Amino acid sequence: MAGWWKGILKDIREKTADMDREQKLAYIGTYYWYHILFGVVGLLLVVLLIRHLFFGEPPKEFTFIMVNQAIDFQRDERLLQDFSAVSGIEEKRMTVDSNYVFSYVGKEIEGANESSYDKFFFRLGGGELDGAIIPESFYRYCMELEYEFADLGAMLTSEQEAAYQDQLLWQGGVCNGIYVEDAPLMGYLDQEAEDPVLLVFFQKEQPKEADRAFLAFALGKG
């Protein structure tokens, strides 16, 4: 790159040797604008690469989303702050996002943003999501698509399991979720009478400490 620019500058000096300043600028603008553009773009790419490699954000410890809740970024921020305060996890290391309002088979949502449907399954498939609030109808839809959820049985304390035994959702011997209507987390949520909401987790291999911490925060018992 440096050699290329030296060649360009040498060529400009030779061809504009007898020109005044305005003529030189006009000549460069006419015949070398694309060289300048190429150089600027190349420099920006180098800067972005360095920023990504050395100054990028650390990976998130916990990513939590809410499906078909009202999109309320202030509420999301309040939930994030409250969980951070009790868990000790820095706010910048977590994400709470309600921008997931979409329709699916059996559920039509007025004003839905269907791109968030694709975003949900893309992030789920990429292992980016840790936990979520989802309507029961969407849980059934995911089961029809043969998606799997983390086993809450491996995360609940005996006290939590006893306190919420009637709200646990079991499927094939696995606790796939918990209805949160009577849990403290419900203070941040809304639900339809015919479509109660569930707290679910997605990291099946080994639940993270942040997952356990959020479960305790959500239930407020045990």
Instruction: Report residue 96 as tokens.
Output: 């709470």
The pLDDT value recorded for residue 193 is 81
Domain coverage including residue 194: 62-219
Say whether both 27 and 87 belong to one domain: no
- Detail the DSSP E strand segments found in 139-186: 168-171, 174-179
The pLDDT value recorded for residue 3 is 58
Query: What DSSP designation does 69 have?
Result: S
Mean per-residue pLDDT for 44-54? 63
Say whether both 37 and 102 belong to one domain: no
Of 55, 74, 94, the one marking the end of a domain is 55
CATH of the domain at 145: 3.40.190
pLDDT beyond 90 at 49: no
Say whether both 31 and 138 belong to one domain: no
Say whether both 96 and 137 belong to one domain: yes
Say whether both 108 and 142 belong to one domain: yes
Q: Tell me if 107 sits within 8 A of 180, measured CB to CB.
A: no
Say whether both 50 and 66 belong to one domain: no
Say whether both 40 and 69 belong to one domain: no
Say whether both 143 and 114 belong to one domain: yes
- Detail the DSSP E strand segments found in 136-183: 168-171, 174-179
Say whether both 44 and 97 belong to one domain: no
Task: Return the minimum-mean-pLDDT range out of 38-42, 47-51, 116-120, 200-204.
Answer: 47-51
pLDDT band, residue 222 (cuts 50/70/90): very low
* Number of domains comprising the chain: 2
- Give the pLDDT confidence of 8-47 residue by residue, as tens digits: 667 777 777 777 777 776 776 676 666 666 767 767 776 6
Mean per-residue pLDDT for 130-135? 96
Of 197, 85, 181, the C-alpha closest to 133 is: 197
Of 55, 71, 90, the one marking the end of a domain is 55
Say whether both 40 and 115 belong to one domain: no
Say whether both 37 and 66 belong to one domain: no
How many CA atoms does the CB half-sphere of 28 hold within 13 Å?
18
Say whether both 112 and 213 belong to one domain: yes
Burial class (CB in 10 A: 0-12, 13-18, 19+), 34: exposed
DSSP-based three-state secondary structure for 147: coil
